[in-house]
Amino acid sequence: MNSVAQDRQKAAVRSPPRIEVAIADQNPVVRAGLEALVARDGRFVVSGLHGSGRALLEALAKKPTEVVIIGWALPDMTGGEILARVRQEKWQTRVIVYTGERSSDVLRQAIKGGAWGFVSKSEEPQVLLEAVVAVARGRLSLPYVDIELLNHDPLEGLTSRERELLAALSNGWTNLQIASRIGISRNTVKYHLKNLYDKLGVSNRAMAVALHMSVTRANS
């Protein structure tokens, strides 16, 4: 064996295998940015980019990837549904949730669903990369959280009117229907909904309904 081949063999022995990382996010710009970020780091190799939960799950069914970075809201399913499928199939895949969602309920669902990591999109990129390394080594990478907050019922502090509005949203009522059936103006409905969203830590009615349904299921 010549010296060049020997040097290559020694380098291969010294260098640990690169961590396989798959990425799933509904935003193509986010996917491209994450791919560039991960690929630039010599510790990782990108094994796949996916724009939907179904595409990711189909890829994992063929070949489970060591670490997966997912957005919480994909076009066809939530991060919670992906976590449930990974757990159900017993795939040797560790999931990191990378999200801009501010609701503590998303963190609660991710932890209960078996996520190995949880990183906010407001964090520096290096935080995500170090989370990937930690998770690949078998360590959880979760932000500091107040356990009491995670066990807290997010609907507990709502007024009776806010609970009434939340139930109406869950039934698919429009603002006009809510105003008509409850007997208040549309502007008053908007005012109450803004307060409701602020209390729940969500930004729109879809998120409010999803939170309401998750708490209802958890308490049933």
Interval 47-105: pLDDT, tens: 999 999 999 999 999 999 999 999 999 999 999 999 999 999 999 999 999 998 766 77
Distance, CA of 90 to CA of 107 (rounded, Å): 22
Say how many Å lie between the first and final Cα of the chain, rounded.
68
Q: Is 129 helix (H, G, I), strand (E, B) or coil?
A: helix
H/E stretch holding 47: strand 44-50
Q: Contact, 24 vs 52, CB < 8 A?
A: yes
Using one digit for the tens of pLDDT, what is the confidence trace for 132-191? Answer: 999 999 998 887 554 455 556 667 778 888 888 998 998 899 999 999 988 889 999 999
User: What would you measure as the largest C-alpha separation in the chain, in angstroms?
Assistant: 88
Decide if 60 contacts 68 (C-beta within 8 A).
yes
| pTM for this model (two decimals) | 0.63
The region, left, alpha or beta by phi > 0 then psi within -120 to 50, assigned to residue 145 is beta
Going along the chain from its start, the domains and CATH numbers come out as 11-149 (3.40.50.2300), 160-219 (1.10.10.10)
